[in-house]
Chains A and B, each alone.
Chain A
Amino acid sequence: MFSKILGKKNKTEQVLSSMDTYSKQKRYEALVQAYHKDLYRYGYWLTSDGQVAEDLVQETFLRAWRSLDSLKEEKAAKSWLITILRRENARRFERKQFDLVDIEDQEIADHHSSTNEQNIEDKWLRKRIGELEPEYKEPLIMQIIGGYSGEEIAKELGLNKNTVMTRLFRARNMLKDALDSTKKKARVI
């Protein structure tokens, strides 16, 4: 009787339990493989800091592991993970401990990239995207990195669809205008 109470399982239960854990683990690993890059990138654009993005992704996947049973459909996995990530990001600001994140605006450069690989427009675009106000930036990254539709973005952010469409419109318009005016300047020279 005491074995049961102490959490020890009989042989059959042990086998079933390790099979459960094994399949849970396989499921978790598949999620990590499929989505860790998108999640990192989402976090990167959300926080403008590669290191913070890494920490966020680690926290996100840890929470995902712990509540994996609540994910019913694999096709809902990506948005489920993004929801967790956004929640974890919100928690960062709620913590009462001293703020450990350096919020330097030019900290957009991450220490993993090499300038040889990026072409000029990539770098320029990244800077402009980073400079977008959060209310325009987040719907854009949700759409492009998250693959969300207008309705899905509206639901996640608690906004009405028209507002979301306006923000997406403005975000791209701002990027396009900036690009066009830069090109014009180049031609004049």
Chain B
Amino acid sequence: MDELEFRRKVIATPNSKDKDLLKALEGDIKKQNFVSEMQAFDADIEKAMKVPVPEDLCARLMLNQSFDQEKMVSKTKQRWSMAIAASIAFTAAIGLSSFMYEENPYQQSVSEYALEHIYHELGHTDTVDENINLNQVNAKLASFGGQLSANIGHVYYAKFCQVAGKKSLHLVVESEQGKVTVFILPKSDKLEDWSDFSDDKYSGTTQRFTSADLIVIADKSTNGNNKALLDVQERLEQNLIWTI
């Protein structure tokens, strides 16, 4: 093995156990030092590549699987139900099909999605303040065909997210009663039941436009009888212009 080939091999694969390489090292201090140097550098690279991993990622991955498990089970049941319903309805009473129809597994209720999304990002979106200006918000809104004609208050956070297979623009804005979360989603038929909702911690309201749909959520403890929700919803309604 010549000098050049040796160098190339060591730099490309510093931890190689290649027989020819090891043989070339025998009794050659200079070469051994070079290999040690490259291995040390490689250890630094490996250390640098090990960026911190979000702490709750593991838990979320476990959770996703159990959600999916439930969807799969109802999907199988639904297939058979539909096959039978179709044949019966063809020959006899049409009404039978509505009894056999189970929940469409691709649909998710708006409240379920919204709460899943907000819990998904807790620990980050409730504490961050990136002080997003109006232009930045509008740059993101542009992909929905929307624009804000005026400031709607301090924006702590504005990022695109994907949760439960649905993409959205996630905003956190200020109101007199505290922070309010807004999800802006493209029109789709994947979400159903667009009405007010709540759980122990949050309450939310929805609004549908021609070009996009809005979900507004606030923490119950700071919400002051839905005032924050209505406040932000009104500000959005008054200042949102749709170009599509």
Q: Could you list which residues of chain A lie within 8 angstroms of chain B, going by C-beta atoms?
A: 2, 5-7, 21, 25, 28-29, 32-33, 36-37, 40-41, 44-45, 50-51, 54-55, 57-58, 61-62, 65-66, 97-102, 110-113, 117, 121-122, 125-126, 129, 140-141, 143-145, 150, 165-166, 168-169, 172-173, 175-176, 179
Contacts of B62 in A (CB 8 A): 29, 32
Q: Check: B80 CB closer than 8 A to any chain A CB.
A: yes
A33 touches B58 (CB 8 A): yes
How far, in whole Å, are A143 and B11 apart by their CA atoms in the complex? 13
B11 touches A40 (CB 8 A): no
How far, in whole Å, are A145 and B47 apart by their CA atoms in the complex? 10
Closest Cβ neighbor of B47 among chain A residues: A122
B57 touches A144 (CB 8 A): no
Contacts of B13 in A (CB 8 A): 143, 150, 165, 168
A51 touches B159 (CB 8 A): yes
Q: Could you list which residues of chain B lie within 8 angstroms of chain A, going by C-beta atoms?
A: 8-9, 11-14, 38, 41-42, 44-54, 57-58, 60-62, 64-65, 68-69, 72, 76-77, 79-81, 83-84, 124, 128, 143, 159-162, 167, 186
A58 touches B45 (CB 8 A): no
Contacts of A98 in B (CB 8 A): 143, 186
With most chain B CB atoms within 10 A of its CB, the pick from A55, A58, A98, A169 is: A58
Contacts of B79 in A (CB 8 A): 7
How far, in whole Å, are A99 and B81 apart by their CA atoms in the complex? 38
> A40-B57, A57-B57, A66-B68 are known contacts. Are A165 and B8 too (CB-CB below 8 A)?
yes
How far, in whole Å, are A117 and B52 apart by their CA atoms in the complex? 10
How far, in whole Å, are A175 and B43 apart by their CA atoms in the complex? 13
Contacts of B44 in A (CB 8 A): 121, 125
List 25 contacting pairs A-B, 8 Å CB cutoff, sorted by A.
A5-B83, A7-B80, A25-B65, A28-B65, A36-B61, A50-B51, A51-B161, A54-B54, A58-B61, A66-B72, A98-B143, A98-B186, A100-B160, A110-B51, A110-B52, A111-B128, A113-B51, A144-B46, A150-B13, A165-B8, A165-B12, A168-B13, A172-B42, A172-B45, A175-B45
Q: Which of A5, A29, A126, A169 contacts B51 (CB 8 A)?
A: A126
